Each structure stands twice: as structure tokens, then as C-alpha cells.
């Protein structure tokens, strides 16, 4: 078997050779072979030895498998978005209880994020992904068969636990195989697939609900989650030992408590986590819980109409994802995070003020484009903030704080919708997004810029 190429290693060091620079390159390519008299690099041989004990997959191949995995997973998740509020409402519960079916999903993600980081460090990223897929499959099949509201809530908790493991482990894998100079573009590919799948999912989800009943999208999500477990087990190589410093040196692992304290001292990391929390609250509490109800009751739309609007936003988002990732790498993370989050705030107002279907589609387009353009930048910022050896701790903490919004958003904004009308949650979300964007813009330092 041929030895692994240096260009296929995660975060490879820059090798000074005869006019060659072997790096992550344009994304994954580099000249080969290097000159035979290239100087030795401390720690590089040990890194190759560790890599040789793993399946021979390049970062490009691992990224392709991860994109396939997350596409299947989020296609199933997207299929239930226009249906879940209506499915929960069929049990005869108020708006705040509808929000609880989304919040409990986020609660499970929140509770599992940091433990997932520890599992990924101890058992490996591949095992964590497979466990998450299996949990998600069971939870969604149970949701489809739920006989009461309480049973639905319990099933949603299990499916949320599985989703939390998959999403957190996926980010850890990507942090393992990328370096700062290309992280924005690599994450934009993954996040673009993620957002496209979750955005296009409502279209078949709405059709399935109309044709076969409100339970059908949950069955599809359960099957998709089982496929995710299979992809994780048979397709994705282990990346635990691919995370290195840019010098290619190994780093001793700190105790868990010290890892958390190190991250807690980083103001920029905390602020990007706060932005992610606020965005998750707006997405789950307003877009997923309130917007479908407004679209049906105020505009007279059916699930397939709502699904088409969300799918339109997803298609627009797909077109801007990679260019936004290139901007993230060239001009810095903040140059993309700030304006796109402001546009996301604007989309909340558009949903509230939409007088007809055309305006609803415009709001979906703004939301889809802005959320897709900003998808990679916060994750890249969080990964940049991770000291050497703390990828799992940083990305699992980032997911944990983000998922607080997933828990609080649906309940708080659902209560606000019951108390003050369905427009109040949308305006509140817009104001919160504006506030955290200003804090991040003026306080958080830039972590990477290639200009």
C-alpha cells in the first residue's frame, strides 16, 4: 500500500521544498512529490505514523461522505418542518404546547452536545455519528406512531438526542480535517448541503403529509436517520488523530474542566456562541413554530405552499453558500457574520408584514439567502478559537450554547405568541438578532483574514 500523501493529511504543515509549497492549497490539492532534500519537520513523522493506522481517506473524501450523511439527515428533518406544528395541534394543544414539541428536541440536543464531544474523543468520531443516527431513527419512527401528545414529546426528545450527536460529531470531524486558511470554504460546502437539504425537505414533506397523512414525514425521517447510521459506519473514516496544530506537532489533551475554563476566557468565542443561540431561537421559535401557523391562518396557505416557500429560500441559499465561504476566508469571519445576520433580522419583519403569498416568498428568499451565507462563518470562527487539541471541546460547547436557543426559543416565543399575538415573536426575534450582531461587531476580535 502506498504511503499517505502529505496533501491528504488534515491540517498539514507547510513544507519548504524546491519551489514547492505543500499545503491544503486551493482546497485539497498540492504538488507532489516534494524534493527529497526537504528539511525535516519536528513532529511530522509521528503524525504520519498516527495517520497510517487509520483508513486511507483524504480530507476531500471525508468531506464528501459527511456531505452525503448530512444531506440525508437534514432532508428528513426538513420534511417535518411544515408538518410538526400541525401534527402537534392535531392532539388539541395550545401554541405554547406546540412550541414545546420543538423545544424538547432542542433540549435533548443541548444535553447531548458536550457529552458527544467526550464520546468523540474517547470512542472516536465515527462511532459517535453512528450512535446518533440510530437514536434519531428510533425517535422519529416513534414520533410517527405516537398515540398521544405526551408520547410525541417523549419521542421528539429521543430524536433530538440523536440529531444532537450527529450534528456535534459532524462539526468535530470538519474541525479535524480543516485549517484556518480554507476552513470557511470547506465549511461552506458542508453547510450549503446542510441548508439546501433542510430547506428542500419541506417540499416533499408537505406533499407526503397531504397524500399520506401528517405522520408520513416522520416515517421518512426515521428511515433517513437509519441511512445516516449506515453511512457513518461504512463510509466515514476516523478523524480523531487527524486534528493537529499547523506546525504538525502533537498536543497533550487537557482535563475536561481545564478545557472548558480555557474556552470560557475567550470573549470572541462566547459572543459567537451567543449569536448562534439567538439565531437558533429565531429559527426554531419563529420560523419553525410561528411562520407556518401565520402562513396557514392569515394567508390561507396549505403545507405544500409553505414547503415550496421554504424550499425556494433553500435554492437561493445554495447559490450563495460557496461564494460566502470564499469571502469568509479572504476578508475574515466578521465581514460575513455581521451583514448576513442583519439580513436575517430583516427577514423576520418581512414574515410578519407579508400581506400575500408573493411577500411570503420574498421573506423566504431573504431568510434562505442570509442564513446560508452566514452558515459557515460562525462555525469557522468557533473552530478558529479552539486552542490546539480542543477541537471536540470547542465545537461541542458551541453546539451546546446554540441549542439553548433551540430549547428556549419555541417555548418563550410560543408563550409570547399566545399572550401578544403571532407578530410579537417575529419582532422580538428581529430585535434580538440586531442586538447581538452589534455586540459581536464591536467587541469580538477577528480570527482570520487572508487579505
**pLDDT of 253-283, one tens digit each?**
667 678 778 888 888 899 999 999 999 899 8
Q: What is the pTM of this model?
A: 0.66
Rounded mean pLDDT, 377-403: 82
* CB-based burial label for 319 (10 Å; 0-12, 13-18, 19+): middle
The CA distances from residue 113 to 52, 176, 282, 340, 395, in Å, are 30, 17, 20, 26, 9
The three grid cell numbers given for residue 318, joined into one nine-digit string: 445554495
Per-residue pLDDT, 450: 63
Assign 353 a pLDDT band (cuts: 50, 70, 90): very high
Interval 197-223: pLDDT, tens:
877 787 788 888 888 888 888 888 888
Cell numbers 502506498: residue: 2
For residue 21, list its beta bridge partners.
Answer: 16
Between CA 401 and CA 184, with CA 257 as vertex, the angle to 5 degrees is 45
Q: Specify the DSSP class assigned to residue 298.
A: T
Residue 358 has pLDDT above 80, yes or no: yes
Interval 281-315: pLDDT, tens:
998 888 877 888 888 888 888 877 887 887 788 78
Quickly count: other Cβ atoms within 10 Å of residue 322's Cβ. 17
Rounded mean pLDDT, 61-83: 83
Q: Mean pLDDT check: name the lowest of 27-31, 89-93, 108-112.
A: 27-31
Cell numbers 473514516: residue: 237
Looking at CATH, the fold of the domain delimited by 58-247+256-443 is given as: Growth Hormone; Chain: A; (1.20.1250)
Tell me how far apart the alpha carbons of residues 190 and 71 are, in angstroms, rounded to a whole number.
9
Q: What is the 3-state secondary structure (H, E, C) of 48-73?
A: HHHHHCCCCCCHHHHHHHHHHHHHHH
Radius of gyration of the chain (CA): 22
Residue 18 has pLDDT above 50, yes or no: no
CB 175 within 8 A of CB 243: yes
Residue 388 has pLDDT above 70, yes or no: yes
CB 256 within 8 A of CB 21: no
Per-residue pLDDT, 430: 94
- 16's enclosing H/E stretch is strand 15-16
Rounded mean pLDDT, 395-418: 84
Assign 243 a pLDDT band (cuts: 50, 70, 90): low
Per-residue pLDDT, 251: 54
Quickly count: other Cβ atoms within 10 Å of residue 423's Cβ. 17
The CA distances from residue 36 to 3, 18, 46, in Å, are 15, 9, 19
CB 24 within 8 A of CB 50: no
Report the candidate in 152, 98, 81 with the shortest Cα–Cα distance to residue 422: 98
Interval 132-161: pLDDT, tens:
989 989 999 999 898 889 999 999 999 989
Distance, C-alpha 430 to centroid of its chain: 21
Amino acid at each position: 500500500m502506498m504511503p499517505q500523501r502529505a496533501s491528504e493529511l488534515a491540517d498539514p504543515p507547510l513544507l519548504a521544498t524546491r519551489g514547492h509549497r505543500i499545503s491544503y492549497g486551493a482546497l485539497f490539492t498540492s504538488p507532489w512529490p516534494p524534493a527529497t532534500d526537504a528539511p525535516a519537520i519536528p513532529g511530522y513523522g509521528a503524525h504520519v505514523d498516527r495517520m497510517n493506522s487509520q483508513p486511507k481517506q483524504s480530507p476531500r473524501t471525508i468531506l464528501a461522505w459527511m456531505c452525503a450523511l448530512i444531506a440525508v439527515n437534514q432532508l428528513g428533518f426538513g420534511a417535518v418542518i411544515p408538518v410538526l406544528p400541525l401534527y402537534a395541534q392535531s392532539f388539541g394543544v395550545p401554541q405554547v404546547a406546540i412550541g414545546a414539541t420543538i423545544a424538547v428536541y432542542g433540549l435533548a440536543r443541548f444535553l447531548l452536545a458536550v457529552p458527544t464531544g467526550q464520546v468523540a474523543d474517547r470512542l472516536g468520531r465515527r462511532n459517535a455519528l453512528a450512535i446518533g443516527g440510530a437514536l434519531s431513527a428510533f425517535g422519529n419512527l416513534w414520533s410517527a406512531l405516537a398515540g398521544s401528545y405526551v408520547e410525541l414529546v417523549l419521542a421528539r426528545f429521543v430524536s433530538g438526542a440523536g440529531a444532537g450527536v450527529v450534528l456535534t460529531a459532524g462539526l468535530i470531524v470538519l474541525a479535524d480535517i480543516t485549517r484556518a486558511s480554507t476552513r470557511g470554504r470547506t465549511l461552506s460546502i458542508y453547510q450549503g448541503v446542510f441548508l439546501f437539504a433542510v430547506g428542500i425537505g419541506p417540499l416533499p414533506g408537505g406533499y407526503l403529509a397531504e397524500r399520506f397523512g401528517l405522520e408520513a414525514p416522520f416515517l421518512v425521517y426515521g428511515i433517513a436517520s437509519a441511512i445516516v447510521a449506515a453511512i457513518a459506519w461504512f463510509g466515514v473514516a476516523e478523524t480523531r488523530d487527524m486534528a493537529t496544530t499547523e506546525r504538525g506537532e502533537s498536543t497533550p489533551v487537557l482535563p475536561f474542566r481545564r478545557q472548558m475554563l480555557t474556552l470560557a476566557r475567550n470573549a470572541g468565542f462566547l459572543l459567537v456562541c451567543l449569536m448562534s443561540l439567538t439565531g437558533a431561537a429565531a429559527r426554531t421559535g419563529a420560523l419553525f413554530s410561528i411562520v407556518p401557523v401565520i402562513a396557514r391562518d392569515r394567508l390561507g396557505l396549505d403545507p405544500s405552499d409553505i414547503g415550496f416557500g421554504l424550499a425556494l429560500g433553500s435554492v437561493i441559499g445554495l447559490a450563495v453558500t460557496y461564494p460566502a465561504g470564499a469571502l469568509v476566508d479572504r476578508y475574515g469571519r466578521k465581514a460575513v457574520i455581521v451583514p448576513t445576520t442583519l439580513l436575517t433580522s430583516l427577514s423576520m419583519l418581512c414574515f410578519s408584514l407579508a400581506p400575500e403569498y408573493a411577500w411570503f416568498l420574498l421573506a423566504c428568499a431573504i431568510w434562505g439567502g442570509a442564513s446560508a451565507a452566514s452558515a459557515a462563518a460562525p462555525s469557522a470562527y468557533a473552530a478558529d478559537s479552539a486552542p490546539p487539541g480542543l477541537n471536540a471541546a470547542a465545537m461541542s460547547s458551541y453546539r451546546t450554547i446554540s441549542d439553548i436557543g433551540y430549547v428556549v426559543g419555541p417555548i418563550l416565543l410560543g408563550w409570547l405568541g399566545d399572550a401578544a399575538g403571532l407578530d410579537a415573536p417575529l419582532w422580538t426575534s428581529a430585535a434580538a438578532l440586531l442586538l447581538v450582531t452589534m455586540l459581536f461587531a464591536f467587541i469580538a476580535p477577528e480570527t482570520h483574514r487572508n487579505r
